[in-house]
Amino acid sequence: MEIKVSWAGAAAFIGESGSGHKVVMDGPPEGGGRDLGPRPMEMLLLGTGACSSYDVISILKKSRQNVSDCKVVISAERAETEPKVFTKIHIHFKISGTDLKVKQVERAVSLSAEKYCSASIMLGATAKVSHDYKILEVVGAL
């Protein structure tokens, strides 16, 4: 895998993925940025949320669960001194569907956390990563 990052002036950077997609990252005005995009550390959490959500959805679908949506809220704390690594990360899944089985959801979240999500597992080398979930039952249309 190879990516490119180009400086776009001040505290802004343009990242280009190996697949050709671009994203703008920037710092806050008080740090010399223009607030044009997410901070690089926010990008790490965004990637982790997408990686773990993909795992959970895939596992639930393979388990023949009728999942219709998955939202993730990630909260994180960083060290106060340089390097300001993440020290705590909590990943909360909001999984919607019809007749979702608790054991299957628990299994999907655990497998993502312990085996499949390379992003959260990698961040777990420096941070205490925790997970939980809420199942939201989708009621059929009338």
Contact 132, 92 (CB under 8 A): yes
d(CA 46, CA 48): 5
Residues 15 and 78 in one domain: no
- Over residues 82-136, the pLDDT tens digits come to 999 999 999 999 999 999 999 999 999 999 999 999 999 999 999 999 999 999 9
Write the CATH number for 80.
Answer: 3.30.300.20
Structural domains counted in the chain: 2
The reported pLDDT for the residue numbered 139 is: 83
Residues 12 and 52 in one domain: no
- Over residues 33-84, the pLDDT tens digits come to 999 999 999 999 999 999 999 999 999 999 999 999 999 999 999 999 999 9
Q: Is residue 142 part of a domain?
A: no
The reported pLDDT for the residue numbered 141 is: 42
Q: Quote the strand ranges of the chain, DSSP E.
A: 4-7, 13-16, 22-25, 66-78, 86-98, 128-137
Global confidence as pTM: 0.92
Beta pairing partners, 69: 96
Q: Is the pLDDT of residue 142 over 60?
A: no
Q: Is residue 126 part of a domain?
A: yes
Within 13 Å of residue 120, how many CA atoms lie on the same side as its CB?
Answer: 32
Write the CATH number for 6.
Answer: 2.20.25
- Structural domain of 126: 40-137
The reported pLDDT for the residue numbered 35 is: 96
